[in-house]
Chains A and B, each alone.
Chain A
Amino acid sequence: MFLLLAIFGWLNIYGASYTYEQTSIFDFSNRAGKQFVWILSALVMGGIILLIDSKTFDILAYIFYGAMIGILIVTPFVAHNVKGSYSWITIGPVSLQPAEFAKCITALAVAKYMGRYEYKLRDWKDLVMPFLLIGIPMVIIMFLQRETGSALVFLSFLLVFYRQGMSGFVLFAGVLAIVVFLIVIRFSIWPALILLVVIFGILVWRTWKIKRIYKWLLLLALGVYVAFSFGCNVVFTKILQPHQRVRIEVLLGMKDDPSGAGYNVTQSMIAIGSGQLFGKGYLQGTQTKLRFVPEQDTDFIFCTVGEEWGFLGTTGVLILYLLFILRLVSIAERQRDNFSQIYSYSVACIFLFHMTVNIGMVLGLLPVIGIPLPFFSYGGSSMWGFGLLLFILLRLDAARIEKMH
């Protein structure tokens, strides 16, 4: 537990100081100061949570969920348009993003639902409710608030379901779909079809002896995938927004647009690359200093790490995150009741998702999706949201220890 807190504190300070340097560019000491306030208040909130009885979360989970859905629906009507999305609510001098808090509350609700004594994940029917629980916020955020990044985070819950017994095939199917999509877009339909035939061939051969039904199921699935691959292009051109399209194209190397939509990533890469082994030194990054990297203190904050602390710094941060997540997993594993375990896994998966996507985006390995880096990226809602996730987990874990004595 101490390890956890130490890591957490460390990350906070880094995050804060990175925003500090960024601010010399816009309002001096405005963003840094703000972030500092957020951190302190998050700590206070954490302290309060630690004092609350752990059962409270269990009891109130559904109520919070209901309220949260309501807020999410209302938000796009109340919010201003910020860079194309309607996900911020302003109360006085403070702007909040309800979606950040939605993650935590959904985790509580899912944990409660799946943690019931009589619940077992046997077949797909049991999955309907969990899928709904994560699906509704996802849809609201994606379509009403127009904030794709925050919506996609909810996909991390799939990993949680997996741990709880959902068939690995769902994950596999999802990954396959993405691969097919990319192949179709990048090359053409034929390589994708060949791939599908090969994979399904292997599958059929492996399950030949098991059951007849599976064979038909597999053929059916193959049919669906083939249809899907034909549909890919349609989805790509008609459903995705132009800026999203371009991002994917840039990612796949189809477009070279150094000063347009690919600008973010190119600049980010330049910034990181210029850091070399040791980096340029604290507050010395020229790329970020001169504001070449857009969004550099929110989504692209990892660039600053890369530029100023070099390879040592970036690897250090990555390992820190890895330890953090592994620690979360181990805490999850040692929980004694389903509610706490499922919740803890949710926390771990959410953090994993954020880390993966944010840093992947900065490195040019994933398309640019607006997701903050936990405890690093500037943002009060983000800081509070993650703090909430973490402190409730600590509280539940503490309850476990209490019970033991």
Chain B
Amino acid sequence: MINDKYYNRRYVISGIAVVVVLVYIIKLFVVQIIDQSTKEKADNNALVRQTVYPSRGLIYDRNGVLLVFNQPMYDVTMIMREMGNDFDTLGFCEVLKIDKREFDSRIADISNKRKNRGFSRYTPQVFMAQLNRADVAPLQEAMYKFPGIALRKRTLRDYAYSSAAHALGSVGEVSPKDIESDDYYVPGDYAGRDGIEKTYESVLRGVKGEEILMRDSRGRIQGRFQDGKMDTPPQSGTDIRISLDIQLQLLAERLLSGKVGSAIALEPSTGEILAMASSPTWNPQILVGKIRSENYNNLLQDETKPLLNRATQATYSPGSTFKVLQALVCLEEKGIRPTTEYPCNGPQSKPIKCTHHHGSPVSLEEAIEQSCNPYFWCAFRDMLQKNGYGTDNTPFRERFELWRKDIIQFGLGKRFEDTDLSEQVSGYIPTSYLYDQTYGPKGWKAITIRSLSIGQGEILVTPLQLANEAATIANKGYYISPHFNTNDSMKSNKHTTSIHPEYFEIVQNGMARVMTHGTGRWYKLDSLEMCGKTGTVQNPHGKDHAIFIGFAPKENPQIAVAVVVENAGFGATWAAPIASLMIEQYLTGEIKRKWLFDRMANAVLNENVEER
């Protein structure tokens, strides 16, 4: 052996091992046999950490009116191993007012690992969830009789008004995807699932706290460890104030009841959403607590699709309301001049007939006032054909793209990205690519796409976009994306159009004339000057949709509105009055035309729409 010289060192190493073991054995001896205190500690002072859930942030409307608040709820939890063999099951059932059969079936569900993957006899399992204070009081008094049983306090939402269900959203249990993407959540937590509850989840949810409780060896809670010195208190969620005006919202929903459609009101200068109503809707209370899943399912199955937010997720042809935009673009691109006039032969006009009776020729303002189809066809045509067709259709197609570019500036054809509205669809403004594919690049001309001139054809918009459009016109050329928050964070996010302010003046005048002499004249307001545009949209599936956009007052506008009522008939008859009433209430504080209110609120156009 080469290293014989160090042979003795083996003893050093072995010696170290022996010494270490001896020391440990002595220590163990001390700890396990001599020192009794640890045994007592183990028995009496076992610590339990329990999550303390914070209260969720409250939601207020723009005037500080409370909309959404919290109500306390309790879960009954049990640690099965600690319940022991002589658990007073009957007494327990009595205190909770359930029968033995229900008790057994709940236990069976909990113990079923396929349904309850986190099951263990050693950790707290939820026996009954979401009991209110009254249900739980008898159990609280008798807790000492039931080892292994504990109460966990939770909060559920409560609503001051049975309104704004789509906008506010609801709170439900977190999904596995949420748990995966955010460490904060554990199964059984609640989080906002849609609407404002979801968009502002991280603000509303607060921070969970922790309390440390002492338990004896029988599993009964003995109190707080060190009087709560080491607890982490929960942090309540932050309250938020949203831009909705609850009175306006209530009015809108009332006016839409019995009908399918939506109404949106914005504050033009800031883009704040004053009201967003979609019908059919529901009472937000039904999606809270134990009844949530059943009710949610019912909503899902309902044929009228109440869960669809028709304000932001349903698309329609804008119909005649599109004409105001058409006017602006054609003016800007020099397709027409402010003084341009065109002939109109009423119902005999070709290629598009006019549905109104007025004189001829028609000026621009008059065309808006009377919603004259031939005028806008000619304007559109002249705008597109300004440079001719050339040999390969290119000048025309370029003009079309120019037209499209201008239209999109108003927020059409895409979602609003810089906003806190979560659920939107983008609508559609056709591209030259589409027509190239359908007809070939040389196969289409102005006449081919004539429906676009009056807002039919392939154009699709959402009511939200319509309201935003109205706001842009009210602002004479810019918009701020519609949003709910009331801080000023979006003030500088102006989207400006390239259209000259004086053209907006012209169009505004036309829209004012709509209300004084034109298609909306039955619904003007005496006290202030309102601007609007009606639309009656052809609908291959049934009766025409009624649409209206407008804003008021003309000088220094405070509110812009878009209303869509499906399958209703004339825009003037159904959509305009609703918008007018909303404007009246918002600007004057009351409704004088009670007869109109009654007529609109009580009209039932669709019997399938349930009142919830």
Contacts and interface: CB of A to CB of B under 8 A. Distances in A.
B42 A273 contact: yes
A319 B47 contact: no
A292 B43 contact: no
A401 interface: no
A272 B33 CA distance: 10
B41 interface: yes
Given A165-B5, A270-B42, A329 B14 contact: yes
B25 interface: yes
B225 A165 contact: no
B598 interface: no
A276 B27 contact: no
A163 B2 contact: no
Contacts of A359: 24
Interface string A9-42: 0000000000000001110100000000000000
Contact of A24 (B39, B120, B230): B120
Contacts of A165: 3, 5-6
A321 B41 contact: no
Given A348-B13, A363-B31, A274 B42 contact: yes
B6 A291 contact: no
A159 interface: yes
Interface string B76-104: 00000100000000000000000000000
Nearest to B7: A333
A329 B43 CA distance: 42
Nearest to B121: A24
Contact of B21 (A269, A292, A318, A333): A318
Contacts of B32: 272-273, 275-277, 306, 310-311, 314
> Which has the most chain A C-beta neighbours within 10 Å: B10, B113, B217, B225?
B10
A159 B14 CA distance: 11
B29 interface: yes
Contacts of B16: 159, 352
Contacts of A349: 13
Contacts of A332: 10
B47 A259 contact: yes
B540 to A, nearest CB: 54
A90 interface: no
B447 interface: no
A286 B46 contact: yes
A287 interface: yes
B434 interface: no
B9 interface: yes
B122 interface: yes
B18 interface: yes
A226 to B, nearest CB: 28
Interface in A344-373: 345, 348-349, 352, 355-356, 359-360, 363, 365
A159 B230 CA distance: 44
B291 interface: no
B112 interface: no
B122 A276 contact: no
Interface in B15-37: 16-18, 20-21, 23-25, 27-29, 31-33, 35, 37
Given A276-B32, A311-B32, A259 B17 contact: no
B12 interface: yes
Contacts of A26: 120
A311 B17 CA distance: 20
B38 interface: yes
Nearest to A119: B2
Contacts of A352: 13, 16-17, 20
A311 B33 CA distance: 7
Interface in A243-300: 259-260, 269-277, 286-287, 289-292
Contacts of B42: 270-271, 273-274, 286-287
A149 B7 CA distance: 31
A219 to B, nearest CB: 28
Interface residues of B, number: 44
Given A25-B123, A287-B46, A291-B122, A163 B13 contact: yes
Interface centre among B3, B16, B17, B32 (most CB of A within 10 A): B32
Given A322-B21, A363-B28, A159 B13 contact: yes
A338 B2 contact: yes
Nearest to B21: A322
A321 B2 contact: no
Contacts of A24: 120-122
Contacts of B18: 322, 326
Given A329-B14, A363-B31, A321 B21 contact: yes
Nearest to A165: B6
Contact of A273 (B1, B9, B35): B35
A382 interface: no
Contact of B38 (A270, A289, A291, A341): A270
Contacts of A348: 13
B559 interface: no
A192 interface: no
Contact of B10 (A311, A322, A329, A360): A329
B212 interface: yes
A292 B31 contact: no
Nearest to B212: A259
A274 B25 CA distance: 16
Contact of B27 (A25, A325, A365): A365
Interface in B32-91: 32-33, 35, 37-39, 41-43, 46-47, 81
Interface string B478-505: 0000000000000000000000000000
B270 to A, nearest CB: 43
A108 B35 CA distance: 45
A95 interface: no
Contacts of B9: 162-163
A164 interface: yes
Nearest to A318: B21
Contacts of B1: 336
A272 B35 CA distance: 11
B25 A276 contact: no
Contacts of B3: 163-165, 338, 341
A30 B16 CA distance: 38
Contact of B6 (A164, A274, A329): A164
Contacts of B122: 24-25, 289-291
A24 B122 CA distance: 8
Contacts of A306: 28, 32
Given A259-B47, A289-B122, A363 B27 contact: yes
Contact of B123 (A291, A321, A336): A291
A58 B155 CA distance: 67
| Residue from A269, A271, A273, A349 having most chain B Cβ neighbours under 10 A | A273
Contacts of B121: 24
A188 interface: no
Contacts of B230: 259-260
A315 interface: yes
A24 B37 CA distance: 28
A25 B120 contact: yes
A360 B29 contact: no
Q: Top 10 A-B pairs ranked by shortest CB distance?
A: A273-B38, A274-B42, A311-B32, A322-B21, A270-B42, A273-B31, A274-B39, A259-B230, A325-B17, A163-B9
22 contacts: A24-B122, A163-B12, A259-B230, A260-B230, A272-B28, A273-B37, A274-B38, A276-B32, A277-B33, A289-B81, A289-B122, A290-B122, A310-B32, A311-B29, A311-B33, A314-B25, A318-B21, A321-B21, A336-B1, A338-B3, A352-B13, A355-B20
Given A276-B33, A318-B21, 4 more contacts: A28-B120, A270-B38, A271-B42, A314-B28
